[in-house]
Structure 1
Amino acid sequence: MTRYQLAERKVDDYITYVLTDAEYPAEAHLVPGLGNNLFRFSVNNQEVFVSPEKISMIRDASARFGNPILFPPNKIRHGSFSFNGKKYQLGLNKGEHHSHGELRVRAWNVIDRGAKADRGAFVVSEFDFADHPDLLEAFQARLVFRFTYVLQDGVLRLEGEVKNESAVAAPFMLGFHPYFHVKQGHEQQTIMQVSSKLEWPVNEEGFVDGSPTSTDLCQQLTKGLAYPDMPKGRDHAFVTVGNGTTSCELIDQQESHKIVYEFGDQFPFMLVFQPSWNNSVSLEPYTAVTDAFNLDVAAEQTGARGLEPGEQFVFTHTFRVEKL
């Protein structure tokens, strides 16, 4: 049997790709037609992500399963902001605000795929604003996203490129929303570990409400915070990660394994979120804080930035399961 395989399946009227590494064994499931969501990943029968019972559930709730792609991440107040002296208006998809962007639900185009001994199983997908006139108009620039998911040596890797194909700078805010599975009955022994330097105050609507400070919760997350020990009345914390931090971990002491998420040094902010609708924790790396362009805080601190004409933003994320 060939170690690496790629299978194409039609499920709930959507084409999905199953990437397999037979040695571990490990499997990754991708649905390009619904936001290019990597909705399932398992290693040696350990589920890494919370996956839907049906693929169609991603269509109806595109930010609640797997690893949604966020552009922009989180909320934009009233969907509007300014960048380089220009006003931008995004669609209102969360009441009177904009939330999580459109890339998480729209169809991506598969431009290459395969399985090779020296590369693993892989799928290359692309999302071009030129194919979406409303996004081209909203962002006033043509951005092209090319993401490659690779399963190799039991590790899931995301190789990402975002290029500005326009003659003008484009506002840039990218994030991811992986839902890491917390096993029923293991909550007390599940530890969230995120090296955290500063915590951003967040109001009831989920918007940043001031400058960040060092808090007790930062220290707890850095040392490792048990899943049930998030402060009462809160389901999330938004932090600037520690200097030099490029990864976070979800540790299941009862199962004697941990999920290690490597997100690199280009995503210096993280939202730690415990959803009410499933047993998971979402460790969400962002390039910028929520609604960064609307904050009265220096861009050097918020991550608000542009992508210059012809500029590429290149990154690599990895997900792996390790024994303790």
Structure 2
Amino acid sequence: MNPYEVICKVQDGYSVVELRDTERGDCAQLVPEIGGNLIRFHSSGRELLAAPGSIHDLRGNEFMYGTPLLFPPNRVQGGSFTFKGRPYQLPINEQPDRHLHGELARKSWEAVEWRGTEEQGAYVVLRFRYSDHEDMLAYFPHPLVFNVTISLLGGRLRLDGVIVNEGEDEAPFAFGLHPYFNLPGGQALLQAPAVKEWPISTFTFIEGVPANTERAGELREGLSLDRIAPLGSAMVELQEGEERVCRLRMIEEGYTIAYSIGNTFPYLLIFRPNWSESICLEPYSCLTDAFNLPYPPEMTGASGIAPGERVTFETCMWVEESS
């Protein structure tokens, strides 16, 4: 019997898509109308993500819960940069003079396909087209298409995406995710495949070149989250290769949240919010404000997506029980 099903329902006045594994009791929820935000993942009796109290709480606070999608990730000073000789001016949405996280997390996404099968699990495909938003094309004149598949199978929740440039010009490319992983309390350790750490300011702007710091070494072995103060951040560069897994070990509760990150994301921003008991592990394709940095693109991740080009990305999260 197929244990996987997809339920579309209305919750707090918003359309919600729920992915279910009836055999394991696992469940994931996302809100297409508010950025396609994956707000909840319940697995093995654990809540992996920090969800809003209601969907109403998410509206207006789109970057504070769940798994916001970022384009571009983090901040752009003055909201302006130049790429291939073309100037860009993004909206100032963080005072006094910064652009923060893009608008994908605030816009409505279209659910174009959903099914539950034994082979593929419970899944939904979300789509966002720049060409449907003239206000965004006015400052970013590139008809990019984002297709994101969220799937639940065998206790693992995957986000797989394809981003396509359907325009005639190369577009600047800067993409990231912002998952809030739930911390139940007690001692927690974070292990991440960090090779270098970039020095950053309070607002996570880059302040120098990377180094194999003491904290990068601690992350490889297991860094106590007590070492990261509320509103504290760290920007690290991840090792290359197939095995790129971060692990949040809940010592007293006896389980680990594992989070694998595909090679589209060379950088990881670690952020400790002060409005929820959570930690953010944010995979980025580039550094903060990458197009304005005085370093070569191969250092910063500042890149483009050519006409007809397809960029893929993938992440996966699951629970590991302690032996």
Q: TM-score, normalised by structure 1?
A: 0.96
Between the aligned partners of 1:234 and 1:199, the Cα distance in structure 2 is 18
1:118-173 CA-to-partner distances (Å, cap 9, x unmatched) read 21111111000001112222222110001011111111111100000001100000
Amino acid across the alignment from 1:116:
T
Return the match for 1:218 from 208, 211, 216.
Answer: 216
Look up the match of 1:290.
288
Look up the match of 1:138.
139
Deviation at 1:205, TM superposition (A): 3.0
Structure 2 SS opposite 1:197: strand
Return the match for 1:270 from 268, 271, 275.
Answer: 268
Look up the match of 2:65.
65
Q: How many residues align?
A: 320
Look up the match of 2:301.
303
Deviation at 1:254, TM superposition (A): 1.6
Look up the match of 2:76.
76
Between the aligned partners of 1:291 and 1:169, the Cα distance in structure 2 is 19
CA change 1:4–1:62 in 2 (3 A) is: same
Structure 2 SS opposite 1:221: helix
Look up the match of 2:206.
208
Q: Is the 8 A contact 1:197 1:243 kept in 2?
A: no
Deviation at 1:265, TM superposition (A): 1.3
Between the aligned partners of 1:91 and 1:129, the Cα distance in structure 2 is 16
CA change 1:227–1:89 in 2 (3 A) is: same
Q: Is the 8 A contact 1:247 1:264 kept in 2?
A: no
Give 5+ residue unaligned stretches, structure 1: none
Amino acid across the alignment from 1:87:
P
Look up the match of 1:53.
53
Look up the match of 1:19.
19
Structure 2 SS opposite 1:41: strand
Deviation at 1:194, TM superposition (A): 1.1
Indicate the larger mover: 64-73 or 233-242: 233-242
Between the aligned partners of 2:240 and 2:125, the Cα distance in structure 1 is 32
Between the aligned partners of 1:69 and 1:192, the Cα distance in structure 2 is 22
Indicate the larger mover: 145-154 or 195-204: 195-204
Look up the match of 1:177.
178
1:191-249 CA-to-partner distances (Å, cap 9, x unmatched) read 1111211111112333112211221111111111111123x687110111124352211
Look up the match of 1:261.
259
Amino acid across the alignment from 1:70:
L
Q: Is the 8 A contact 1:139 1:171 kept in 2?
A: no
CA change 1:234–1:36 in 2 (3 A) is: closer
Between the aligned partners of 1:127 and 1:237, the Cα distance in structure 2 is 30
Look up the match of 1:37.
37
Matches within 5 A, 1:304-323: 304-323=302-321
Look up the match of 2:102.
101
Structure 2 SS opposite 1:138: coil
Matched, 1:7 2:41: no
Look up the match of 2:89.
89
Matches within 5 A, 1:149-188: 149-184=150-185, 186=186, 188=187
Q: Is the 8 A contact 1:170 1:306 kept in 2?
A: yes
Deviation at 1:2, TM superposition (A): 4.3
Q: Is the 8 A contact 1:38 1:67 kept in 2?
A: yes
Between the aligned partners of 1:47 and 1:142, the Cα distance in structure 2 is 37
Look up the match of 2:245.
247
Structure 1 SS opposite 2:59: helix
Between the aligned partners of 1:229 and 1:110, the Cα distance in structure 2 is 40
Between the aligned partners of 1:298 and 1:273, the Cα distance in structure 2 is 26
Deviation at 1:176, TM superposition (A): 0.5
CA change 1:210–1:220 in 2 (3 A) is: same
1:61-106 CA-to-partner distances (Å, cap 9, x unmatched) read 0011111101100001111111001101111111111000100111
